[in-house]
Amino acid sequence: MNENVTTSDRQQELAARRTNQFYITPLVDVQSTPESIVLHAEMAGVDKTGVDITIEDGNLVLVGHRLPLNVPGDPVYVERRALDYRRVYELDPSIETDKITARVEDGILTVTLPKAERVKPRKITLE
């Protein structure tokens, strides 16, 4: 994992115990570009209105509230759990938190974490 963003399953477990709320940990791909770190989180059943992204104590907290399935008939067999998604990442100080952007499309939450200018690669020209 990139040094700019780390996750802690232990942090997530402790948060769930404090709130008596249990979550599904979404699968997340993390990509690094010269300008930013980009997270792609799978959150099936979540739309724009069901996403909460916060920064708490230097942590990026992603929460996706799943929409209930409204299907007619009585359930015969159910594998889908009615739990929300939650993932916590510790942010490196080199991330510009006031410029974080996010969007959700087709159940994929994309969060872009811009790097500060001081950590972006740059070319030095000779005099």
Per-residue exposure over 30-62, b if at least 16 CB sit within 10 Å of its own CB, e if not: beeeeebbbbebebebbeeebbeeeeeeebbbb
**Paired residues of 61 in beta bridges:** 54, 88
How far, in Å, CA of 92 to CA of 101, rounded? 16
Architecture in CATH for domain 5-119:
Sandwich (2.60)
**Residue 31 in contact with residue 112, Cβ under 8 Å?**
no
What digits encode the pLDDT tens for the residues 49-85? 999 999 999 999 999 998 777 788 888 888 877 789 9
Domain chopping of the chain, boundaries: 5-119
pTM: 0.75
What digits encode the pLDDT tens for the residues 10-59? 555 555 555 557 889 999 999 999 999 999 999 998 999 999 999 999 99
